[in-house]
Amino acid sequence: MGSMSEKVVSDYNGYDYKAEFWEKADREYEDQADRMAIRKLLPKRMEKFADIGGGYGRLANEYLKRARKVYIFDYSKSELKQAKEIYGDKIETKAGDIYKLPFRDDELDGLMMVRVTHHLKHLDRAMAELYRVLKPGGVAVVEVANKRTLPKMARFVTGRSKVNPFDKKVANYKEISADGFYNYHPKYVEEIFEKVGFEQEKVLSVSNFRSRGLKKVFGTERLVKMEDKAQKALAGIRFAPSIYYKLRKPEE
């Protein structure tokens, strides 16, 4: 994801995200956790829907049957080409700048943005664009990379990390990506949502058991069952690596 008018934060052009990040790594649990949350939050019926930063369409099967018209938007043209090869006429692809989305005002009934916020230097500007392109009454499902997780708290308290997970300052992990890898405090993002104009309808705690050790002990199938119960139960404490929000643009 990135901007045409400034340095791109994360350019996936030419990178096989599908194979390298998902298929060759042990991320079945994370994939199932994302899908579970999306099924719980997305409206059942929509006219026009967009997957913002949707890449090759990893999650397309969760929304294709819910919308009459589906767009996948991304900065990476190579990812979008792959999406088109997989889904053909079931989707329409749009490439561009997330800070200047190629949709009209009030055009979409629904949208989602998953695994994108950690690339965004200007989350407030991106959220303002999501608000702009949604029609009044439309729903946005947004996943946020959380800085306030238990492992990050432990690393800070023991002096292994200088990033304070308790304050609302945006965390930029440059050791992960020299151009920036951003994590957010839940209160910080919720203040942005409110300032932009969104109404917050529902929150889920997602990928609660994201751990190599837990995967070895419990296995993916059992972790997924545990995840299903934990997403709502743990939402109030906002400790998971991913926090999912169901947001609505108020009716006029």
Q: Domains in the chain, start-ordered, CATH in brackets?
A: 17-248 (3.40.50.150)
- Report d(CA 107, CA 97) in Å as an integer: 17
How many helices, marked H, and strands, marked E, lie in the chain? 8, 9
pTM comes to 0.89
Tokens read off for 58: 């990893």
Q: Tell me: the pLDDT tens digits for 45-73? A: 999 999 999 999 999 999 999 999 999 99
Question: What is the dihedral angle through the alpha carbons of 176, 243, 10, 120, rounded to the nearest 10 degrees?
Answer: -110
pLDDT bin (cut points 50, 70, 90) of residue 12 is: low
Question: What is the dihedral angle through the alpha carbons of 149, 154, 160, 161, rounded to the nearest 10 degrees?
Answer: 30
> Is the pLDDT reported for residue 6 higher than 50?
no
Selection from 224, 225, 243 nearest residue 30 by Cα: 224
First to last CA, the chain: 31
- Report d(CA 195, CA 190) in Å as an integer: 9
At 15 the pLDDT is 52
At 210 the pLDDT is 85
Give, as one character, the DSSP assignment of residue 211.
Answer: -
Q: Tell me: the pLDDT tens digits for 128-181? A: 999 999 999 999 999 999 999 988 998 899 999 888 999 999 988 876 666 678
Selection from 17, 13, 96 nearest residue 56 by Cα: 17
- Report d(CA 244, CA 235) in Å as an integer: 9
pLDDT bin (cut points 50, 70, 90) of residue 11 is: low
